[in-house]
Structure 1
Amino acid sequence: MNAHPQMQSKMTPEEYLLFEKESETKHEFYNGEIFAMTGAKPDHNRIQSNFIWILKRQLVNSYCDVFPSDQRVKVNDQKYYYPDISVSCDDVKFDDSSLLNPIVIIEILSDSTELFDRNGKFRDYRSILSFKEYVLVSQYECFVERFRRNNDNTWNYREYNNFGQILKLESIKCELPLSEIYHRVNLLI
């Protein structure tokens, strides 16, 4: 999804949540500003569908829920985002329809969102105590990056760039073959 700022004065979190309930378009909220989420390209949607299908298949007998990009995540009172995919397990918590305790967040990178997904959003997501793994996925080449939180609150990085590799999400005990993540995706590289 792409985010585009809306031209208007700043909103309070309460005004944003009321506005979002009535809106036909999703909006992210960042320090009083709202950003409309525009439609995604077909390959972005294929990657998202593939991820969700693989995760749901592997988590079918667990207490985990897999949410698509329509599920808003609350970082704090000033930041609400719509990640491409989020996973929460056991006691899934919501506040005003916003997910409070994601364990895994997956963002499919686009030209317009990549910088913010890598930096600002990742920094913000790290403040969520339940958050354990962050996955960034290229839609243009076979390239997936996984960041995993350690017990000492440091993060490990691992990249995957071969269709024969398997992305391991240790926090939810899932293994995702890159060949399935990129099934029917038209890669440029």
Structure 2
Amino acid sequence: MFDPQRSYTVDDYWKMIEAFQDRKYKYIDGYIRMMTGGSLAHAQIEVNLARLFGNALLDSECVTYGPGAILRLSEDHYYCPDLSVSCDPADWTKKLWIHQQW
């Protein structure tokens, strides 16, 4: 397991993601935190929103991602949101994460 008080590298974060694929973690400024689980109601909302976004974006260049996608906000900030949308074709070929463009 990991020590929540210790500072980690991004490589450490990716190793944890690979080792515990059934869990969601966020990485903020060197610290790794496990994200809380949801409920059945939360899961239903997640699926309904993904369907709505997916349907609304069918004729666009945007792609809807579920909770398996990791969102990279910066070099030191990675999150696992329940839902994200990318309109950047460069994200479509990545295997693990999408990059937030501001």
TM-score bracket, normalised by the shorter chain, equals 0.7 to 0.9
> After the TM superposition, which of the residue ranges 61-70 and 6-15 deviates more from structure 2?
6-15
Give the alignment's Cα RMSD to 1 decimal: 2.2
What SS does the aligned partner of 1:38 have?
coil
> After the TM superposition, which of the residue ranges 27-36 and 15-24 deviates more from structure 2?
15-24
Instruction: Trace 1:1-189 onto structure 2 (pairs within 5 A).
Output: 7-24=4-21, 25-93=23-91, 97-101=96-100, 128-129=101-102
Q: Does the CA-based 8 Å contact 2:26-2:80 persist in structure 1?
A: yes
TM-score, L = length of structure 1: 0.47
The structure with higher relative contact order (CA 8 Å, sep 6+) is 2
TM-score, L = length of structure 2: 0.81
Q: What is the alpha-carbon distance in structure 1 between the residues aligned to residue 25 and residue 11 of structure 2?
A: 14
Q: What is the alpha-carbon distance in structure 2 between the residues aligned to residue 77 and residue 19 of structure 1?
A: 17
Match of 1:173 in 2: none
Q: What is the alpha-carbon distance in structure 1 between the residues aligned to residue 38 and residue 58 of structure 2?
A: 27
Deviations, residues 41-79 of structure 1 (Å, cap 9, x unaligned): 122112111111111122222221101122100111111
Structure 2, gaps ≥5 residues long: none
Letter in 1 for 2:29: N
The structure carrying a bigger strand percent of its residues is 1
Which segments of structure 1 move beyond 6 Å, counting only runs of 4 or more? none
The structure carrying a bigger helix percent of its residues is 2
